[in-house]
Structure 1
């Protein structure tokens, strides 16, 4: 067996650690904080909910009045006039509201004869009796007669979507 001799030149190079440079005489470094800096009232990002651009907006009729009441009133009048099936508004109503709507659609207070023009919406009046509720009244011109349709929109407690809770037409 042949023995291999290690030559001193074949040894592994030494690893030198970089030494920290000493701080300048007039310069003091602040110690690194061991815990994150906490500000009163500040929650870490993991505990904070998602940010929504409309979160700071006021809740009430200003948000819903921007067209929601008028759009729903138009669809509601179309159902009462027989131009739209009541089932299309089922997902936008509560159970009681849908029962009232189906009964009114069956009676047809706004149904017209073939010679009469289609019902037209007049001005839409809104009122907010409390947060999460909106009461709407609309005047409907059906030929020479005028009818009134009133309904109540409420925010669903879980989904925060507006739903029709009550309907009345005279």
Structure 2
């Protein structure tokens, strides 16, 4: 199998605006005193293309109780997910706790069985659960799983359903 080298980029992207200390190559001609400094100086102010009201505001930091509840939710779901991936629990038990895409990913991982052989040799050790909240209704979680001499990583994303307010696993992956 031959390897091909990547071609150089076709377009060079430069930052907008002038570089510091760089002047325009041709300075503008003398502007009459009666002419406005900018052609739209006397025109009506333009409305912005993207009003600030439509821009997403950063998520407020969760209070301590909410953050602790999310951590506990992430830890409990990680435990059950690892049990499913190891074959100690049927995948159907997580069906109502996953979205359609999340269950499709989970069932593919169960068929592949990344933790199943490790579970037969000994006990699985669940390491620390690391979670982050990129949005108010989402939690991304990563957990290390010790299986004998091997280490695995399980990552998943929990999202809160809009209508039911139930947390569901939307994505899962293992390495």
**Given the superposition, is the C-alpha separation of residues 132 and 138 from structure 1 closer, same or farther in structure 2, using an over 3 Å criterion?**
same
**Given the superposition, is the C-alpha separation of residues 115 and 68 from structure 1 closer, same or farther in structure 2, using an over 3 Å criterion?**
closer
Does 2:73 align with 1:64?
A: no
Unaligned runs of 5+ in 1: 1-56
Q: TM-score scaled by structure 1? A: 0.62
For residue 20 of structure 1, what is the aligned residue in structure 2?
none
For residue 146 of structure 1, what is the aligned residue in structure 2?
151
Do the aligned partners of 1:126 and 1:137 also contact (CA within 8 Å) in 2?
yes
For residue 99 of structure 1, what is the aligned residue in structure 2?
104
Task: Say which of 82, 104, 126 aligns to 1:121.
Answer: 126
Do the aligned partners of 1:134 and 1:153 also contact (CA within 8 Å) in 2?
yes
For residue 88 of structure 2, what is the aligned residue in structure 1?
83
The Cα of 1:118 is off from its aligned counterpart by 2.0
- Structure number with bigger Rg: 1
> Residues of 2 paired with 1:74 and 1:107: CA distance?
19
Do the aligned partners of 2:119 and 2:147 also contact (CA within 8 Å) in 1?
no
Does 2:169 align with 1:164?
A: yes
- Secondary structure of 1:112's match? helix
Unaligned runs of 5+ in 2: 1-61
Q: Which has the higher helix share?
A: 2
The Cα of 1:61 is off from its aligned counterpart by 3.6
Q: CA RMSD in A?
A: 1.8
